[in-house]
Structure 1
Amino acid sequence: MSDHRITMTMLGATGSGKTTYLHGMYATLSMGLRGYFMYATDPDTDLDLAEAWEALCADGRLPAPNNEDPIDYEFVLRHGVTSLVDFDCQDFRGGAATQRGGDGAPADIAALTERLERSDSIFLVLDGQHVGRWVADDTPAHLNPAADPMKIARFSRAISNVCDGRRQRGEPSPSIVVLVTKADLLGEISGLPTHEALEKTARNLSKLVKVIDSEGVTAMLCPVQLGSFGEASPATVDPTLVDPQNLHHPMIFALLHYLDEGIVRHGEEHVRAVGRQLDEQAQELAGLRSGGMIRNYFKRNEISRKDAEIAAGRELHGEAQARVAAARVRAEQLVEELRNMPVYRSGKLQIG
């Protein structure tokens, strides 16, 4: 287990590929990739995921859709032998985010709403074939809600509410990963070379997912695929076409944002606050010692206590500085891992 924990939640319409992505991501990282490694804290969970991946690679069987009972996952992400972060994940069915709540509604609808409020990272999962059609239509600024199979307006509004609530509480907005599954279909359906379809998607993403234009929101566009399986959504695919791409990048980005916002930025604020407190204590100590030998004799207990407070404060100050420095070094390493990925900060597109 690590000292850090990220609550991650995925939003996506039914059939968008949330469960399949989660299985592929774990399979990729559980085998290790460029020094990164992931394991499930529950051995039975590890076995279930491994068996599902074997069924895909051997027989072409895709993971079954979820029912109304969300599946809990506890993952630990490592780099080498160093545990970086614990991921608390829950896999909800697509309908949990799109159906009406209220009396008599399935319990997972309210559970997903509550979970979003405390999520450190939100993955918005979009089906690549629908994104490809949007690109083919020249990326219109507005989609007809009745004809939007991705339910983007609903999801974007829900994420925006979460970001607004956290900002009002003085908390950083969750990181947002716009996860485009079945990325091989982007070029095929749009009629453009894949890299051009991706560039067009990146340039115009705020038309599709309007929340990424919000102040204080950091997001990344990440195309992923398990293989080149075509447009159909069968229960089985050709196992020889399994070819995972980019599946680890969303987890790396979630950790990078957590380090930047939760450790470095807030840690630096804490270091400055402790430093100011030490300065005040030093002035108080100087005042106690300024009265001469006789006065100091009578105040020796108070002086000794203040000395001890300052020593303890300096130790905490050093530990906080060390945590910030370590987080900054780790963040710089993660930035390299995400080089050339489209990242949005308060609506401004950057290439990571």
Structure 2
Amino acid sequence: MPKSPLLEFDWKCQAQAAKLIDQWTDAFVRQDPFVANLRTRMSTETGTRLTDWLDHFSLPFSVETESLLSQSGFQLRHEPGDPVWQHPDGLFPDVVLGGFPKQRLTIHVESVRDFLVAHRIATSIRGLPGSALRLACVSETESTEFWVIERHGDVGFKPSESSAMNLPAILQHEEAFLLRKRDFASDEDGFDHASALVAAAKDNLGQDRTCDLFFAAERSYWESRNKAARIQKSRQDALGLGWANHDHHTYRSSRKHFTRLIALLEQLGFQCRERFYGGAEAGWGAQVLEQPATGVVIFADVDLTAEEVSGDFAHEPLPHRDQLGTVGRMVQTARRSHLASWHASLGMPI
């Protein structure tokens, strides 16, 4: 019997994996005073946890470590290079096993340069300015190394100089997204404009870097209209972290334009994941999407009935309804299409 679309993604707590990562993190913190101090400052100054920022562990290979990973639900990613273990059912850092002389912990930041400036660290950065991946070692003990990494649509672990060759194009399309017009006479014109900007950027930079630039601009726009966001961003910037800990973006749409919204997201490389239904009283649901290379996750909200949430409402036009639901009223109150204020919120781990 085919599984219900609502049960296709059955997320469960991964206690064993969480315990393993917490043990490794705590052991690392005990060995590196810089990391211990950073974890304390993250908690007291930004209200975030060190685990919210983890990107990956790089550990010396051993059969014992492989066994621990396998027993905790991690799976080996079969690609060239050092073995990479990933957890398909939870938000955990990757684990790279190889010939590393020391244990290495790497956190994800928005800008390696900004992190070094914030902590007054003079060290070399691997990866040219504009590269899709840059990283630097910021602290070292006899047995550990602590690194920071920034990613722009690159899921690897080593920078590629070729990804920085298009720096003028990167700056050009970054500016185009930041200055994107958001008020149009019709929603159709707004969608056409956004789609054209995305298409032009993809031609020059590829899909993944385009997606990274697009959502950096969306966060900037959302932040400019949200005082709480600006306060939180300033706290995280003081530690050189930026918005690298974003968990998901939420967008709200009318029923009429929902499929067009999904089409634009798919143009950026998003893939539909699970769907969500708030219940009959709420009268709305959501399609969850994820872009694999950037890790950006979307909650796309729309007014739905219980029957509609089981169909392919992301791609099949929803019929017109005279009565507005919760999401429809929000959209009407804003008196803008999604192109003007579609970035309803930014979620972070709690």
TM range, smaller chain: under 0.3
Which structure's residues are more often helix, by fraction?
1
TM-score by length of 2: 0.26
Q: Which structure would you say has the larger Rg? A: 1
Higher relative contact order (CA 8 A, sep 6+): 1
Provide the TM-score with structure 1 as the length reference.
Answer: 0.26
